[in-house]
């Protein structure tokens, strides 16, 4: 189970996501906690601050940074545990394509991508078209349709999965193809399946 969860959320990806978010969270929590302690304490002490005042602020900032890092580590461990649960209790089901409507239908065409690039700029328009114009895969599990966006490769081409690993309680699914690739994606939506006729 750990190896499969590691394939869905590898260490390099955890570091790629965790390090920047951890640094940002540590900075924000450290600064916020230092201000929460230093401002009222400075008002009580008055304009002439003793030498220990700076050390107290620094110690509180380090404590706040540690809290920020701890929260990010907890989130990453929970995400990896969620993937392990998906592998352990999920069901492998055939994937079907959801018919596009609205914005997804417009951005899924070559003309829609061109208009998005012209209106929003090359990189932004391409990204928006990739996110919202790509196909949506679904699988039916216990009378419920679980949908997830497919992922594009490095060239911007969408790879449609043959199978989906789905769990009723998980917030992620795994998109699989017999060619060997496996991609975790967040659940886009869940809806009741229409009754069988």
- 8 Å CB contact between 72 and 22: yes
Mark whether 40 and 127 lie in a shared domain: no
Mark whether 135 and 46 lie in a shared domain: no
| Residue 173 belongs to some domain of the structure | yes
pLDDT of amino acid 66: 92
Task: Specify the pTM.
Answer: 0.62
Nearest in space to 71 (alpha carbons), one of 25, 12, 24: 25
Residues 6+ apart with CB under 8 A from 114: none
Q: What is the mean pLDDT of residues 83-96?
A: 85
Mark whether 73 and 47 lie in a shared domain: yes
Per-residue model confidence as pLDDT tens digits over 109-135? 666 666 666 666 666 666 666 666 667
- pLDDT more than 70, % of the chain: 74
- 8 Å CB contact between 62 and 30: yes
pLDDT of amino acid 146: 87
Q: Which of the four pLDDT bands, split at 50, 70 and 90, describes residue 54?
A: confident
């Amino acid at each position: 189970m750990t190896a499969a969860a590691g394939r869905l959320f590898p260490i390099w990806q955890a570091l790629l996501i965790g390090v920047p978010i951890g640094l940002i969270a540590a900075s924000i929590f450290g600064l916020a906690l230092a201000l929460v302690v230093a401002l009222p304490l400075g008002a009580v002490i008055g304009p002439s601050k003793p030498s220990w005042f700076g050390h107290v602020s620094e110690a509180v900032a380090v404590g706040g940074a540690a809290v920020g890092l701890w929260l990010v580590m907890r989130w990453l461990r929970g995400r990896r545990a969620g993937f392990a649960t998906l592998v352990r209790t999920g069901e492998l089901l055939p994937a079907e394509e959801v018919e596009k409507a609205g914005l997804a239908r417009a951005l899924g065409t070559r003309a829609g991508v061109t208009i998005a690039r012209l209106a929003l700029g090359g990189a932004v328009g391409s990204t928006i078209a990739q996110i919202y114009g790509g196909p949506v895969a679904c699988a039916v599990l216990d009378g419920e349709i679980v949908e997830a966006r497919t992922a594009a490769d490095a060239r911007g081409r969408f790879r449609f999965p043959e199978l989906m690993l789905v769990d009723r309680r998980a917030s992620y699914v795994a998109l699989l193809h017999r060619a060997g690739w496996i991609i975790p994606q967040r659940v886009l939506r869940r809806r009741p399946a229409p009754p069988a006729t």
